[in-house]
Chain A
């Protein structure tokens, strides 16, 4: 099971959990197989992310990070370098926090492209 931004959904994926609009209304129930039409509806209702079956989060993230071109990724890394300049990169807490930021921001950059 993995959480996936709407931009990366593909027809044929299976929902692991109900998808709800911001007002709480269920748009599509767990177990449903996605069609292109569903994905359009999610976008028009402002759904940000969806839980799908069969893929684990790490694999999904890696897949997306690989798709993103080198220049964008480098830009995110540079931004992180500057933001974390006062922190010790060897500190395991900072390392973990930076990794979380890198994933979130690369996914966001990928979604915008």
Chain B
């Protein structure tokens, strides 16, 4: 059933399938090259100033992710992913979750409740010279910038690259020939019996 789907551009319905062919467009490349520094600055501004003006981690993270989406549109999705390297994307998402959890569980370690920023004050108040309510402010900023903005930007970029990579049956065959037992119902090309 899937044999001729990868060799020709007509699928089972006889419909011409769209394939993401990268065509170089001078207009898009020039526009993106001119615009992305400003959009990146704007995204960082919205993230950092989310405490005093409208904004915050969600909006800033989405705008920063859109910078890399624009680069991918201008210069090709595969080459952008190779330049960005999977480590950066996965690392951003995971580091955000870990930072949020660390800032949240710190007070539990120090004897307070989860996400109770004022529990940092007895221990770090004299060391950092901050008043009690300022710990709340810096805890919030840390959660917003190091937590939410990282997570949202990393995961949105990761979702973009995952959806662009799609699903291809060659992955199934490569994994199956390496001896990894899987449900055989997925791939129509599987020759070897599963263990």
Q: Is chain B a partner of chain A in the same complex?
A: no
